Structure 1
Amino acid sequence: MTTTPPCSDRYYIPPGGLPPQTQLTTDRAMFTEAYAVIPKGTLSDITASLLPFWEGARFWVLARPLSGFAETFSQYVAEIEAGGGSDRPEVDAAAQSVLFVVSGTVELTVDGTTHRLAPGGFAYLPPGCGWRLRNRTGHRASLHWIRKKYQSVDGLSSPDVVISSDAEVAPMAMPDTNGVWATTRFVDPTDLRHDMHVTVVTFQPGGVIPFPETHVMEHGLYVLQGKAVYRLNQDWVEVEAGDFMWLRAFCPQACYAGGPEPFRYLLYKDVNRHAPLG
């Protein structure tokens, strides 16, 4: 029988299973023309999916391109049993990926080189690179998998593979915030070869986004730790570890971080490309 080892309090792990028949169905789940909130309680056994060429693994699909909503990316939470994984994980040659491990340890092999990724482990995998992933431990592992079709630009080469971790990268404080708002950046934000960024954003208790950000980038925000009140379009929504927020372009956003621990989320956004015309 596969077991799940204790995880650092820094990363929430979906427990799976099903709620009891006595539980009320009212929750914070919502889908609007500007944003969606998928609470942690919706990641149950009956909402999981299987994918081709994966063994001993299941996936919760948090985001997928939708016409008229958010169109650039997909995001999964993957649960990989002991011995599970794939030698052919990606079926789209144009797709690039980011992996972020939240529990357990996996072996990621890229172009013949094997890396062990523990909780907080990060990997950027450019399109066309050969990679495979296995859980060779006796415990279940969980990770986030973010995919985007790469937008190539004449004169710019494809990005390099990046292997890093949350523990290795020092968060960069946002200007004029005294360190209460910081971003962990795993790739150079000035490297125009990249057309997406996946970062970890950290707010200390009481930290805020002090204005309604309104911009062209689409977002996926998965709360790794803590809680906050998040402004989404015209609404203020309470969110906590395990919740996912999905924002279309130009959806106003802001937040107040609650306590008593830091509020941290894994953030996707599309960057560094012209808006397609046509």
Structure 2
Amino acid sequence: MPYASPSAGLPDQMTLHTGRAVFTEAYAVIPREVMRDIVTSYLPHWRESRVWIIARPLSGFAETFSQYVVEVAPGGGSERPELNPEAEGVLFVVAGQVVVTIEGQSHTLTEGGYAFLPPGSTWTLSNRSTEVARFHWVRKRYEAIDGIDIPPAFVTNEQSEPIRWMPGTRDTWGTTRFVEPTDLRHDMHVNIVTLEPGAVIPFEETHVMEHGLYVLEGKAVYRLNRDWVEVEQGDFMWLRAFCPQACYAGPKRFRYLLYKDVNRHAKLPF
């Protein structure tokens, strides 16, 4: 199953400035064509690697998470990937393969591979193959709760997980869930949403959860706040809390990687 990832490079000098990038008070769209070499960055203690940072906490916007697309060349990786002991993470591989070692146990993640990394865990990542690897890395400061355990690390692949179809949709709109919604140990979900050709999200979802939506496959027309926006594979949508959203899927299967914060009280300012 192919997954979209940044194409890098630079556009031709004769390319017109007619792109689709937009940043509003309620949402941002970072289209695939602007994820170029010039906007990459490098991280401490990572070798032969670079990142597209496509979301980071911003006061007054989305404040709970960061999301990277990480590219690791053969021989690259890190023995000290996460420097914040309070940060939990999810890795999702979209190209190539990586070896993730968690608490001394090694796991090879191929395309579709998924790893949950709890706060304070000891892990490393390396690319031992001959091809470039790319993966999403979603990070959030874990909100510990007295009397509730921190969830353990786990590794899987989306091909091993079922799509759970929404009732009444004739198996056209569903979610691949890697964590049970009722598991209160988890304060974030990183899932995959699937809409078959012509399927819809038939109401304007308006809720407290922040979102990062990276389109893995297909195209759609997405309602974001007051606007209908056409999006395609490789695009990223970044939504603050309470941004209305809905969707009409295109002529092919439409799928995206979805972040949302869940299962915790709203923070109060006193």
Specify the TM-score bucket, using the shorter chain as the normaliser. Answer: over 0.9
Question: C-alpha distance in 1, partners of 2:108/2:266?
Answer: 37
Question: C-alpha distance in 1, partners of 2:16/2:159?
Answer: 39
| Partner in structure 2 of residue 113 of structure 1 | 105
| Partner in structure 1 of residue 254 of structure 2 | 263
Question: C-alpha distance in 1, partners of 2:146/2:158?
Answer: 32
> Deviation of residue 14 (structure 1)?
1.2
SS in 2 for 1:200: strand
Q: Is 1:237 aligned to residue 236 of structure 2?
A: no
| Partner in structure 1 of residue 173 of structure 2 | 181
Match for residue 228 of structure 1 among 208, 220, 233: 220
> Deviation of residue 92 (structure 1)?
0.4
Question: C-alpha distance in 2, partners of 1:243/1:14?
Answer: 9
> Deviation of residue 13 (structure 1)?
2.0
Cα-Cα RMSD: 0.6
SS in 2 for 1:217: coil
Equivalenced residues, count? 269
1:21-100 matches, within 5 Å, as: 21-100=13-92
> Deviation of residue 101 (structure 1)?
0.1
Match for residue 156 of structure 2 among 151, 156, 164: 164
Contact 1:102 1:143 (8 Å CA) reproduced? yes
Question: C-alpha distance in 2, partners of 1:14/1:27?
Answer: 15
TM-score by length of 1: 0.96
Question: C-alpha distance in 2, partners of 1:245/1:113?
Answer: 34
Q: 1:179-225: CA deviations, max 9, x gaps?
A: 10010001121100000000000000100000000000000000000
For structure 1, the residue ranges without an aligned partner over 5 or more in a row are 1-7
SS in 2 for 1:46: helix
Question: C-alpha distance in 1, partners of 2:154/2:241?
Answer: 27
Question: C-alpha distance in 2, partners of 1:131/1:189?
Answer: 25
> Deviation of residue 87 (structure 1)?
0.3
Contact 1:162 1:187 (8 Å CA) reproduced? no
| Partner in structure 1 of residue 263 of structure 2 | 272
Contact 2:7 2:32 (8 Å CA) reproduced? no
Question: C-alpha distance in 2, partners of 1:26/1:149?
Answer: 37
Question: C-alpha distance in 1, partners of 2:9/2:78?
Answer: 24
Contact 2:27 2:239 (8 Å CA) reproduced? yes
SS in 2 for 1:167: helix
| Partner in structure 1 of residue 11 of structure 2 | 19
Contact 1:12 1:242 (8 Å CA) reproduced? yes
Q: Give the letter aligned to residue 187 of structure 1.
A: V
Q: 1:65-97: CA deviations, max 9, x gaps?
A: 000000000000001000000000001000000
Question: C-alpha distance in 1, partners of 2:167/2:70?
Answer: 35
Q: Give the letter aligned to residue 267 of structure 1.
A: L
Q: Is 1:218 aligned to residue 210 of structure 2?
A: yes
Q: 1:221-258: CA deviations, max 9, x gaps?
A: 00000000000000000000000000000000000000
Q: Is 1:247 aligned to residue 239 of structure 2?
A: yes
Contact 1:34 1:248 (8 Å CA) reproduced? yes
TM-score by length of 2: 0.99
Match for residue 201 of structure 1 among 193, 197, 203: 193
Question: C-alpha distance in 1, partners of 2:255/2:155?
Answer: 21
Contact 2:213 2:259 (8 Å CA) reproduced? yes
Question: What percent identity do the matched residue pairs reach?
Answer: 62
Question: C-alpha distance in 2, partners of 1:264/1:204?
Answer: 9
Q: Give the letter aligned to residue 46 of structure 1.
A: I
